[in-house]
Structure 1
Amino acid sequence: MVSTHTGIEWTDRTWNPTTGCNKVSPGCTHCYAEAITKRFTQNFPQGFALTLHRERLQEPKRWRKPSRIFVNSMSDLFHEEVPFSFLKEVFEVIRETPWHIYQILTKRHERLVDLADQLDWHENIWMGVSVENQDYIHRVDYLRKIPAKVRFLSCEPLLGALQLDLTDIHWVIVGGESGNRYRPMKLEWAQSIRDQCNSDHVAFFFKQWGGRTSKAGGRLLDGQIWDEMPEAWNLHRQQREEYLTLSNRKSRKARLTA
């Protein structure tokens, strides 16, 4: 299974320079990525073991349409088994493709902070952490230390009520769990996060209620679709023609010098 367009509502494409992971908190219990590797074993000969895919590193350079790219939907870029040298190569590709937005999500908040000063945080990087219940709210404090253009929270699967400090947070995604063993999300949990976001002027995105399938419960919260994006996305969309022009010039130059 390679990088592709996706049905994930808050992004346009996925890019998986690594696949595989291991469970670190309750949100991982029914991991959808692990289930995919078990279903499509021919595409994942290493199963769900952490695997580097160097052959995929240059893929975003071939995607000419400016896109929001979810990095490592099948893994965690800050997994302890991802070499720092490989991580730097991923960030270099991000630097070389400013017409895209890269959405990176991790549960490895400590390694994220440990390595942050050694990485270049280009303006097209959105950095997020997963927060599934109040026991993992400390991940937000770590995220605040990261000099990313956009810092966001993924509260999916949402497994309990959250009281959030949204200082220096730009975007919050909420979603319920899906799959045969899904754990239901309560209405008041989602409503509370939405209200906290509204109060603090933070963009709120309600992804799904979840259920036996991701679409089973729909996306309406109090009769409304909540598809808010951080202001940085609107600014990026205004600039994307400039990015495309830059990209095309680089392509022509490369062909002439080849």
Structure 2
Amino acid sequence: MGKLYVIGVGPGDPELLTLKAVRIIKESPVICVPKGREEGSSLALSIVERAVPLDGKEIIEAHFPMRKTKKQGQGASGKWQERQGAEEKDELNNKWNEIAETILNRLRKGSDVAFLTLGDPAIYSTFYYLYDKLNTLHPGLNTEILPGVSSITSSAASAKISLGLADEKIAILPANYMGDLRSALETFDTVVLMKVHKVFDEVVKLLDEMDLLDRAAYISRAGMDDEKVFHNIRDAGPEDLNYFSMVIVKK
């Protein structure tokens, strides 16, 4: 039975790959990479390809269809959404099982598999959905998880911001938790808001209301070649907003 390695490849700069990550990738005959869309390319794979020769390795591109179901409505519309949610849940479950079986097939043949994931595997990584499936199908699976540089720490480094000193409190929130943001900003010394592109205007409005605009930095595509850092969040325009975006508020 082979061994499964889960490798955090960092936010985008191949030079941020750890020495151990490079070694394990070189030694693994099978590389598994996640993709958000079937027709798209894997960012994690593109990072590694700039640092490690992958000639002769089997590359498994795993499409992870991440769909979310909104809160159910009432009446006929709500019932339709409920049915749609159940269908999507079944589709997702089938896809997770398919990917898990593909990986287990290679492991059972004695091949080590390196599963690549952006940033650090412990922070909002798709892999942990798959990890549950793998352990259900094969309890006691030999797995090693290699940490990587997260987009959070990469953003803080680029903006030259300390996330926490002494007994300061830190909060990390995905942007879809806008309802919790005011409370977090009131309670914590540092607040990191991830994937803010869809709610950027609402974030700026709230920061203005709380007199925190001057304490907020906006970072776009941290660690990538086209990274942008705005120490004054007011300077960020619509063209600077994208999925890989982050706001750090340091009081």
TM-score of the two chains, using structure 1 as the length reference: 0.32
Structure with bigger gyration radius: 2
> Larger helix proportion, structure 1 or 2?
2
- The structure with higher relative contact order (CA 8 Å, sep 6+) is 2
TM-score of the two chains, using structure 2 as the length reference: 0.32
